[in-house]
Amino acid sequence: MARRTLLTDAQLSAALGELPEWSGDTTGIERTIRRIDLTSAAGAVADLAAFAEDLDHHPDLDIRWQTLRVFLTTHSAGGVTDLDLEFARRVDEYFDRAAPDDRSPALQSAFDAVDRAFANARARRAGPADSGA
């Protein structure tokens, strides 16, 4: 059961140093994977579901146009535990083995700017996000 013990700020900070794609605090961590089409995202969600069942730990997943967001928290513990870090490592292994994207940096930068603009507009309309917990 030690895997479901809440991490301290210092423990999480050290762990995030080894998980550079992840950010967050002791209430939850997240990674956003960009440049992914809907078919690839759907396939990834199926694979992540297999990880979830294997660990008996279930992430919050959000698919948007060219973006998959993975949010991890151990709801039963009330924050981030070693179980979340294990899941994050599996996510990294899964996505780091993927083939590199063939977009130019300038084109990707333009897409990212559009994505941010739409996300900001949605956030202003929606107000505070519901964690679903």
Tell me the average confidence (pLDDT) per consecutive run of 10 residues in the chain, 133 residues long. 83 96 97 84 87 91 89 95 96 74 56 70 69 50
CATH number of the domain at 12, please. Answer: 3.30.1360.20
The pLDDT, as a whole number, for residue 105 is 62
Q: Is residue 124 part of a domain?
A: no
- The total of structural domains in the chain comes to 1
For residue 67, what is the DSSP state?
E
| Pair 68, 33: CB distance under 8 Å | yes
For 25, residues 6+ apart whose C-beta sits below 8 A from its C-beta are: 9, 12, 80
pTM of the predicted structure, to 2 decimals: 0.70
Q: Is residue 115 part of a domain?
A: no
* Parent domain of 40: 2-102
